[in-house]
Chains A and B, each alone.
Chain A
Amino acid sequence: MALKGLPYRNFNIALIICLVLISFLSLFIGSVSLSPSEVIAGLIGNGTPAISIIVVDLRLPRVLMGILAGATLGLSGASLQGMLRNPLADPGIIGVTSSAALGAVIAIYFGLSSFFPTAIQLMAIFGALISTAILVLISMRDSSVLTLILAGIGISSLSTAAISLTMNFAPNPMTLQDMIMWMLGSLENRTISDISISLPFILVGWALHMGISNGLDASSLGDDTARSLGIDTRRMQLQIILGGAISVGAVVAACGAIGFVGLVVPHIVRRLIGYAPGRLLLPSALLGAILLISADLLTRMPFGYGQLRLGVVTAIIGAPMFLYIVYKTRKEMR
């Protein structure tokens, strides 16, 4: 039995506390074992040069990027599911992530970032926008799950094929390596400057999601009723699509294609605080960050170090959950 009555505010506060705890925890864990006092010394600038490189230049950016990426994927999953009235919507499932990866890979292939520092970000966002626009054109008229998923499969396969094609033509092994990394997704080796390139796009994407909670709730009664309640549904849809494409595109540009976070997170939140789509946004962002940092921690455990990639971990956890959701909601899928 779900804990439907969990108070909204307390739930968010609990999530924030969890997020802070796990973020700190991940500063203390890594391939080089440091004592807590060494980590704190590194953080406040009192450590040895080696320690401050590990803590400030390696672990801190990784945690920050994890928070940004996880929150973006959770938020975008929750808002897409609400807008499309469809529990299977997620930037990954519907092909936004892979088309953003295609944009990034093309940018890498042509070495665009040497001409223009934000080229990878912009190309990833462009890829995400195109696929989202196609999806909306196809699936807004009938909100059938089948149409959406099939359109997503089409977009995903096309992007994946185009990515493979680009890889075949990779000018050198280094470029190929870069491209493969985008396909798997990772938070490794992020620098503060990587983050600062993506941050403005991510923040703009988040900002576009502001003030849509009531509108999303209203649209669970259908678009006509939502409009009768004073909601400019077209504007709201545009906000979600643009916000999702810009922020997810920037995340994919920085960390590659990390799947399933946006799909799974809103489901967990629904179990805890109920189905109203507008109330899922903030907790989904928080839980998305928590889950992604936890998954990244797994990749840094002794058994996983060097073998496990973040995108692989989220898929190993997320794909079975996807199947479970399909099983649970199969009656509504016809």
Chain B
Amino acid sequence: MSLLSIRNLHISLEGQKILSDVSLDVRSGKLVGLIGPNGAGKSILLKSILGVIDKKDGEITLDGKDISDWPLMEKARKISYAAQGAPVHWPLTVGHLVSLGRIPHLSPWQSTTREDQILTLEAMKKTNVDHLSMRITTTLSGGERARVMLARAIVTGAEFLLADEPIESLDPYHQIQILNILKELTQNGHGVLLIIHDLNFAQKYCDELILLDKGKVVASGQPSDVLNDRNLQNTYRIKASRFLKDGNSFIIADELLNSD
């Protein structure tokens, strides 16, 4: 049982407060959704866990040890990351790109072993891209590319996955496909911190939601509690209608409040 824990995190960039007093926990086996309006600081939060952005104050610990005390390679074996927009700068083959997720297990002099290649193939099967192995990543469709990127993040075998809007700009079929894979990961004991904008999917798939607004945690806990009318009005500035179907509540944003 592993624990990724953030306590009273403060982050400033170029003199501007980005995050203040943020606390949250991600445990193995849990899918934690990070939601909030654009510019709330969600991506910055993930990057501070990665150590790309320095914190000003507060604590980020992995299994009780400060995140900056973990050697880079060891940390990389514990936490994997799927970046927003999934940038790829060279036309790599899908198979090669996915195998890059094994780098944390290699020494700087080593290239992938047969075992790494087997694991790569397994990860590609899990996200249903094994038939694309020889294709060039930059020629894939959005849905294929998202699944390739997820395979790349999964193949590391890390206990935690930080996923920055992995279902952004996908059609509903591929959105559900990706969310199912993430859900399955948590059922296999991984902890996932997921940035997501679709409130209905967030409510349906996540075990816990953390609502971030202007760098502060406004609410956290059970999805149905977090997504109450008051929070939607105060943070998203929307008035929502709800309807119930088969015991699930659905949210439809149908009115803007105090637009600017």
Q: Which residues of A contact B (CB under 8 A)?
A: 4, 85, 143, 210-215, 217-225, 227-232, 274-277
A333→B52 CA distance, assembly (Å)? 27
B106 within 8 A of A: yes
Asked if B75 lies at the interface with its beta carbon under 8 angstroms from chain A, I say yes
Chain A contacts of B251 at CB under 8 A?
A: none
Q: Shortest beta-carbon distance, B222 to chain A, in Å?
A: 30
Interface magnitude class on chain B: 35 or more
Given the complex, which residues of B lie within 8 Å of A222, measured CB to CB? Answer: 83, 87, 89
Tell me which residues across on chain A come within 8 A of B87, comparing CB atoms: 221-222, 225
How many residue pairs link A and B with beta carbons under 8 A? The number is 83
Q: Whole-angstrom distance between the alpha carbons of A227 and B81 in the complex?
A: 9
Among B47, B103, B110, B152, the residue within 8 A (CB) of A230 is B103
Taking the nearest CB of chain B, how far is it from the CB of A257, in angstroms? 28
B219 located at the interface, meaning its Cβ lies under 8 Å from any Cβ of chain A in the complex: no
Q: A230 CA to B108 CA in the complex, in Å?
A: 10
What's the Cα separation between A221 and B75 when bound, in Å?
18
Cα separation A212 to B91 with both chains bound (whole Å): 20
- Asked whether B88 lies within 8 Å of A221 as measured between CB atoms, the reply is yes
Which residues B47-103 have CB closer than 8 A to chain A? 47, 50-52, 72-77, 79-81, 83, 87-93, 96-97, 100-101, 103
Bound-complex Cα distance A211 to B152 (A): 22
Q: Would A211 and B108 count as touching, CB distance under 8 A? A: yes
- Contact: B76 with A274, CB < 8 Å? no
Chain B residues with CB under 8 Å of A276's CB are 90, 92, 96
A213's contact among B76, B97, B111, B162, by CB below 8 Å, is which? Answer: B111
- A221-B100, A275-B90 are known contacts. Are A230 and B50 too (CB-CB below 8 A)? no
Q: Sample 12 A-B pairs with CB under 8 A, ordered by A number.
A: A212-B108, A214-B103, A220-B88, A220-B89, A223-B52, A224-B81, A228-B81, A229-B101, A230-B72, A230-B104, A275-B91, A276-B90
- CB-based contact A229/B100 at 8 Å: yes
Contacts of B103 in A (CB 8 A): 214, 217-218, 229-231
- Which residues of the partner chain B approach A211 to less than 8 Å between Cβ atoms? 108-109
Chain B residue nearest to A212 (CB atoms) is B108
B93 pairs with A228, CB closer than 8 A: no
Instruction: Report how far A215 CA is from B110 CA in the complex, Å.
Output: 11
CA distance A232 to B108 in the complex (A): 11
Query: Please, which residues of chain B bring their CB within 8 A of the CB of A275?
Result: 90-92
A214-B103, A224-B52, A224-B83 in contact; A274/B96 too (CB < 8 A)?
yes
Contact with A along B106-118 (1 / 0, CB 8 A): 1011110000000
- The answer on a CB contact under 8 Å between B79 and A228 is yes
A106 to chain B, nearest CB (A): 37
Chain B nearest Cβ from A279, distance in angstroms = 8
Q: Which residues of A contact B97 (CB under 8 A)?
A: 221
A229 to B108, CA, bound (A): 12
* Cα–Cα distance between A232 and B76 once the two chains are bound (Å): 11
Nearest neighbor of A215 in chain B, beta-carbon distance: B108
The 7 A-B pairs of least Cβ separation, nearest first, read A230-B76, A211-B108, A228-B81, A85-B89, A230-B73, A275-B90, A230-B104
Rounded to whole Å, the gap between the CB of A243 and the closest CB of chain B is: 14
Closest to B101 in A: A229
A228 to B87, CA, bound (A): 14
B76: chain A residues within 8 A (beta carbon): 228-230
Q: Which of B74, B89, B93, B162 contacts A274 (CB 8 A)?
A: B93
Question: Please, which residues of chain B bring their CB within 8 A of the CB of A230?
Answer: 72-77, 103-104
